[in-house]
Structure formats: C-alpha cells, structure tokens
Amino acid sequence: MNICASCGREFEADSDAEALCPQCAAESLSIHPSKPTTGLPGTPLRPVQEAPAPRRLWLPSPTLLLIALNTLVYLAMALQGHGFFAFDSGLLLRWGANSGALTSGGQWWRLLTSTFEHGGLLHIALNMWCLYNLGWLAEMLFGRPRFTLLYLMCGIGGSLGSICWRGNGLSVGASGSIFGIAGALIPAMALQGNPQLRTALKSQLSSVALFVVYNLAFGAAVPGIDNAAHIGGLLTGLALGAAYPTGIDRRMHRRQGRALAGTLLVLMAFFAAASFARRNNQGYIEADYAADAYSRGDVTSAVAHAERAVSLKPQDAHSQFMLGMLLMDQHRYSEALAPLVATTQLRPRFGPAHVELCLAQFELKRLPEALASCERGVQLSPTEAEPWLNLGRVRYTMGNIGGARDALAKAVALRPQGFEENLQYALLLIATGETGRAVPYLQKAHDLHPQDAHVTRMLEQAKQR
C-alpha cells in the first residue's frame, strides 16, 4: 500500500515508485494535457489525450453542512424564543429535546432531533468549534457518506446513553456526535494498516485521545454536563471506527462486509439500550401520563398514573409531589400526607411541599405539625404569599392572634390582588373588633369575586357598623 503524495490517502499500487493515487494522477494529467508520454518499446509516440476531469461530488463537506444545520436550528429557536444567549426548557422540549419520559415513552425521534439543538450561544459555539476541527480528519479517513452516517449514529448513541443513565433529565447538543467522531478516529488511526500513514497520524491520535480524556474529566467535575451522552457517543464511535474501512483502495469492497456487520451490531445495541431505557424510565412515563390526564380534567386517571409512578420510582420527588397535589385536589387529605412527607424528605429545601403538607395537616386538625410545616414553608419561600396565608390561618386557630395578624398582613402585602389573602385578613380584623379597618379588604375581595354572596353580605354589614 502506498500513500498519495498529493492527498495523503492510502491506495494500492503495482510498485513502490507510484507516488499519486489514480484520482490525483488523473487530475495531474488534466492540468498538463500537453505533456507527452511514451508508448511501449518499439511503438510510435502517441499524443496524450486530455484525461477526463474527476467526478465532483455535488455535496460540499458534510462537516460544513452539519455546522450550518445546527446553526440554522439555533437561530430559528432564538427567533421563536425571543432570546439569543440561553433557552428555557419549554422551548427546548418543543423543538425535540431528549427526555427520559417523552423519548422512551414513544417519541423516539427525540434521540436524533435533540442532537441538533443547543441550550445557548456558548454551548453551540464550543460544539461547532470541536466539530470543525475533528470533522475534516474524519471525512478524509472514512469518506463523506460514512462520516455522515457515523455522525448521526453517534448522536443517537449519545442520546440513548443519556436516557439510560440520567433518566428524566433534559438533554440537548451535538456533543454525543462529536465524542463519537473522536472515538471513531482513535481506532481508525491506531489500527491503520499502512505504517507510513499511521506514523503521519501519530500526533493527531495523541491530540484526539487527549481531547477525549480531558473533556470526560471536565464533564464529570462540572454539574449540568451530560457526561452519559458523551460516553454513549464515544462507545458508539469506538465500535464503528474499528469496523469502518479507511482510505481508498481497490480492495474496498472486501471491507464492506465488516462495516455492515459493525453497523448491524451497533443497531442491535441501540435496540437493547432503548428497551432498557423504556423499563428504567417507566416511572417517569407514568408521571407524564398523569400530567396529561390532569390537563384533560381526568383526575381519577391522573391519580392512578401518579400512584404507579410512585410505586415504580419511590425516590422521585417529582412523582411523590404530583401524587400529593392530586390527592389534595380531591380533598383526600389523609392519603396525601404520605407522598407529601416523602417529598419533604427527598427534597428538604423544596418550599411548596412543606406548604402543601401544612395545609393537609391543618385540614386534619393536626395543628402542632401544621404549624411546624408552615413555618418551614415560610422560611424556604419568604417572598410567596401562600406560606404566610397558611401560617396565619394556623396561628389564628391555635389562638395566636398577634402572630396571625402579622402573617396575614404579610400575605396581603405580597399579593394585594389575592382573594383569599384579603378575605382572611378582613375576617381576622372583624374577629378582633376592627371592623372599620376590615372594610377596604372586604371591598377588594368583593371586587375580585362580585358573585360571592357571602362576601357581599359581610361587606354590607361592615359598612353599616
């Protein structure tokens, strides 16, 4: 095997003296059509006919096409999201972000669409810079069609790795594909059959290996980076890079069987990973079904799905809180206690769980426990009106009138347009003999809900005093 002195590709030659591959040799002849050549000994000289120009691929570099496609998706998302530097989770999901519940719940297309999304300007800039630097080398070694297939399959492998390991975490970006390209380059260069080309690529091999090691270590150390997608893409790339042939030679057709076998094995691994993800994420899928059922008004089905989600993923605070809220919505306070307590244990600093637990305990007349839960809710969410409202109600029921007044006044200050806040504060003022001061708050409650006959009657009575 020889190395082409022009393009650097490996080709099969009849002698070691041949320096150009057939394609570059044809290009050289087409550039110098007047250059004579000799025939066989004893034959007259023949003028050299101009060699036909080599075939031009109609597609430009797939690396540049992929960079352009990623950039176009980013710009379209920026226009729709009215932002440029970062996107919220809702926009990412609408554009096809990868999610354990949605993807393994049947929306498998997210495995691929998520690889063309990015979460912000810095995210896409770093990924496209890496793709530009690795893509040209992969194109040269594998060829454009195989490189494109490699990119797409490594992206899918990264997405599968994410939902298998991280579960329901949101994931976007081309980094799985990029790690896959790096992974494919390692065996392609290390196992290169031509010793001259292997020597020429030695420095490139070291750089790619260092890129992989450094970025995996960085991803493990920094929160928020989806290292599972990196590893999934890397493993896919290592397998395909060992199977796919490199260079252009006359024996290429003999290597196609190995490439096909490698591709089929990777696809089988994909199916196995998808099956595992479906089983592993079933709890998240049930929680997603519960949310859909509740949005349709089917609370009974929503509770059933939420209960299955909790039984499958008892350590998932989101499912526990959802079940607790659904039971509270049906006034099943005693049943709501267990999932709400579990939520506060799984996420001790999640204020809304303590607030809902306070309300359930209050309805069940467990006042000391309700007071502790309300005080914790206020401590964790001091700028929210609802914790102060519930704290005021609990304090009033327990006879702490001064404490109740302070809490309800805080609730009204935080949410001056709140019906319950104005009504409860007015009722407290009336109960303490300050009917005149209660009138503005009763008037506000009446304006917010003029159809409420009870509030209208209390307002009329207060004005008459």
| Domain residue spans of the chain | 2-31, 64-246+255-280
**pLDDT at position 158:** 96
Mean pLDDT of 184-201: 76
Residue 50 has pLDDT above 60, yes or no: no
Q: What is the pLDDT of residues 7-48, one digit of tens each?
A: 556 666 655 555 556 555 544 444 444 444 433 444 344 444
**pLDDT at position 433:** 87
**pLDDT at position 309:** 96
Residues 6+ apart with CB under 8 A from 65: 59
**pLDDT at position 46:** 42
> What is the phi-psi region of residue 8: left when phi exceeds 0, alpha when psi lies from -120 to 50, beta otherwise?
left
CATH annotation of 64-246+255-280: 1.20.1540.10
Determine whether 301 is an active site residue: no
Q: Rounded to an integer, what distance in angstroms lies between the CA atom of residue 296 and that of residue 254?
A: 58
Q: Rounded to an integer, what distance in angstroms lies between the CA atom of residue 139 and that of residue 172?
A: 24
Residue with the larger pLDDT of the pair 288 and 19 = 288
Residue 300 has pLDDT above 80, yes or no: yes
Q: Which of 230, 318, 354, 446 is catalytic?
A: 230
**pLDDT at position 4:** 66
Residues 6+ apart with CB under 8 A from 389: 407, 408, 411, 418, 420, 421, 424
Per-residue confidence band for 413, with pLDDT thresholds at 50, 70 and 90: very high
State the average pLDDT for the chain: 86
**pLDDT at position 57:** 46
Which residue matches tokens 């109960």?
Answer: 431
Q: Which of 114, 175, 319, 373 is catalytic?
A: 175
185 alpha-carbon distance from chain centroid: 26
Residues 6+ apart with CB under 8 A from 204: 137, 185, 189
Determine whether 230 is an active site residue: yes
Residues 6+ apart with CB under 8 A from 172: 92, 97, 98, 114, 115, 117, 118, 119
| Cβ burial, residue 136 (10 Å; 0-12/13-18/19+) | middle
| Cβ burial, residue 422 (10 Å; 0-12/13-18/19+) | buried
**pLDDT at position 21:** 65
Degrees, nearest 5: CA angle 75-76-80: 115
**pLDDT at position 253:** 58
Residue with the larger pLDDT of the pair 164 and 196 = 164
Q: Which tokens is 337 given?
A: 């206690």
Degrees, nearest 5: CA angle 151-152-155: 85
Q: Rounded to an integer, what distance in angstroms lies between the CA atom of residue 70 and that of residue 115?
A: 9
Give percent of the chain with pLDDT exceeding 70.
Answer: 84
Q: What is the pLDDT of residues 244-259, one digit of tens each?
A: 887 654 455 556 788 8
Q: What is the pLDDT of residues 123-159, one digit of tens each?
A: 999 999 999 999 988 998 888 999 999 999 999 999 9
Q: What is the pLDDT of residues 312-364, one digit of tens each?
A: 999 999 999 999 999 999 999 999 999 999 999 999 999 999 999 999 999 99
**pLDDT at position 60:** 76
**What HEC string does the chain produce?**
CEECCCCCCEECCCCCCCCCCHHHHHHHHHHCCCCCECCCCCCCCECCCCCCCCCCCCCCCHHHHHHHHHHHHHHHHHHHHCCCCECCHHHHHHCCCECHHHHCCCCCCHHHHHHHCCCEHHHHHHHHHHHHHHHHHHHHHHCHHHHHHHHHHHHHHHHHHHHHHCCCCCECCCHHHHHHHHHHHHHHHHCCCCHHHHHHCHHHHHHHHHHHHHHHHHHHHCCCCCHHHHHHHHHHHHHHHHHCCCCCCCCHHHHHHHHHHHHHHHHHHHHHHHHHHHHHCHHHHHHHHHHHHHHCCCHHHHHHHHHHHHHHCCCCHHHHHHHHHHHHHCCCHHHHHHHHHHHHHHCCCCHHHHHHHHHHHHHCCCHHHHHHHHHHHHHHCCCCHHHHHHHHHHHHHCCCHHHHHHHHHHHHHHCCCCHHHHHHHHHHHHHCCCHHHHHHHHHHHHHHCCCCHHHHHHHHHHHHC
